[in-house]
């Protein structure tokens, strides 16, 4: 059985309250959630991670150390150190007590796309970042998903297969055992229009099968989470799908009560 993961991506949002207040709030709700999970006979334990803007990492470390909640960054450099203005290396991230890092989020891919880089080149950059993250003992959450245009053209599997093949080619299939994959259709992110549970299941199962061709045991233990307009109203149905192992939550992660409800949905949807 795979332990579900709920990851909260704050993106570049500064909370209405101070980041400190929000972090404390997240912590308090996580404690309440833990109690709720213990009391619910059909619930099982989950992992929770939050991804605040990097300037709040120190606060996250101060407030969340010793708690159940993990934290991480929304990006990592493909290099160890040097003249890479604005970048943060995997070892610096580790230095802030992070366990996780997001890699290849579509909002970052779009930045590179403005440079008109080919998708295959982008996948290579993602693979380099992936290598840096795992070398530092971070758990990468690697995001992939198709645009509305690609969805309409039926290219979803092609896009996903290309990235998975690049990751496997760079690090071998076993490295995926310490990795999380996030299927995030670009058309569902921040739009309020999530994928249907059936569609998410279809794509997740394709991803698992693709990895299984190389290593069946790794594929079986690999966590594949879904992201794109997950809310308390649709979380249970999505997480109930056999190949959906939790979610990457954007907007709703800033609303602590909603986030906590989504976490609870994952706890009662184990399969
Ligand atoms: P959303 O964002 O939940 O606001 O759609 C998801 C994400 O970008 O990770």
CATH code where residue 157 lies = 3.20.20.70
Q: What does the block give as tokens for 144?
A: 């992939």
**Pairing state between β 5-9 and 47-51:** parallel
The tens place of each residue's pLDDT in the chain, 271 residues long, gives 899 999 999 999 977 778 999 999 999 999 999 999 999 988 999 999 999 999 999 999 999 999 999 999 999 999 999 999 999 999 999 999 999 999 999 999 877 655 556 778 889 999 999 999 999 999 999 999 999 999 999 999 999 999 999 999 999 999 999 999 999 999 999 999 999 999 999 999 999 999 999 999 999 999 999 999 999 999 999 999 999 999 999 999 999 999 999 999 999 986 6
90-178-22 Cα angle (round to 5): 60
| Domain count of the fold of the chain | 1
Ligand 1 environment, Cβ below 6 A: 9, 184, 189-190, 227-230, 248-252
What is residue 36's predicted lDDT score, i.e. its pLDDT?
Answer: 93
Atom of ligand 1 nearest to the CA of 189: 5
Among 229, 246, 253, 258, name the best residue to mutate to test ligand 1's pocket (greatest count of ligand atoms within 8 A of Cβ): 229
**What's the pLDDT at 214?**
96
> Using CA atoms, how far apart are residues 183 and 248, in angstroms rounded to an integer?
9
Instruction: Tell me how far the alpha carbon of residue 251 lies from the centroid of ligand 1, in angstroms.
Output: 6
The reported pLDDT for the residue numbered 41 is 85
Could you count the other beta carbons within 10 Å of the beta carbon of residue 42?
A: 8
Q: What string of H, E and C letters represents the secondary structure of 50-109?
A: EECCHHHHHHHHHHHCCCCEEEEECCCCCCCCCCCCCCCCHHHHHHCCCCEEEECCHHHH
- Residue 71: count of CB within 10 angstroms of its CB: 26
Instruction: Show which residues are catalytic.
Output: 105, 184
Write out the residue range of the structural domain in which residue 51 sits. 5-268
Residues 6+ apart with CB under 8 A from 181: 141, 142, 144, 164, 207, 222, 223, 224, 225
Ligand 1 centroid to 181 CA: how many Å?
15
The rounded Å distance from CA 259 to ligand 1 centre is: 12
41 CA distance to ligand 1 middle (Å): 30
């Amino acid at each position: 059985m795979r332990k579900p993961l709920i990851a909260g991506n704050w993106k570049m949002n500064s909370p209405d309250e101070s980041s400190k207040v929000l972090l404390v709030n997240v912590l308090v709700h996580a404690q309440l959630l833990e109690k709720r999970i213990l009391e619910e006979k059909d619930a099982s334990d989950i992992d929770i991670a939050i991804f605040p803007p990097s300037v709040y990492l120190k606060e996250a470390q101060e407030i969340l150390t010793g708690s159940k909640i993990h934290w991480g960054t929304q990006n990592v450099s493909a290099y160890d150190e040097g003249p890479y203005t604005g970048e943060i290396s995997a070892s610096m991230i580790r230095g802030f007590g992070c366990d996780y890092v997001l890699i290849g989020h579509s909002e970052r891919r779009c930045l590179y796309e403005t440079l008109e880089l080919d998708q295959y080149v982008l996948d290579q950059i993602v693979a380099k970042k992936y290598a840096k993250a795992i070398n530092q003992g971070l758990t990468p959450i690697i995001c992939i998903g198709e645009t509305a245009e690609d969805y309409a053209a039926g290219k979803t599997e092609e896009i996903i297969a290309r990235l998975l093949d690049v990751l496997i080619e760079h690090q071998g299939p076993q490295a995926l055992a310490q990795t999380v994959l996030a299927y995030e259709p670009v058309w569902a992110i921040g739009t309020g229009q999530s994928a249907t549970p059936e569609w998410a299941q279809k794509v997740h199962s394709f991803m698992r099968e693709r990895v299984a061709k190389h290593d069946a045991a790794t594929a079986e233990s690999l966590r594949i989470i879904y992201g794109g307009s997950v809310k308390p109203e649709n979380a249970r149905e999505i997480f109930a799908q056999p190949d959906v192992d939790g979610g990457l939550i954007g907007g709703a992660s800033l609303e602590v009560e909603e986030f906590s409800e989504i976490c609870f949905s994952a706890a009662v949807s184990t399969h």
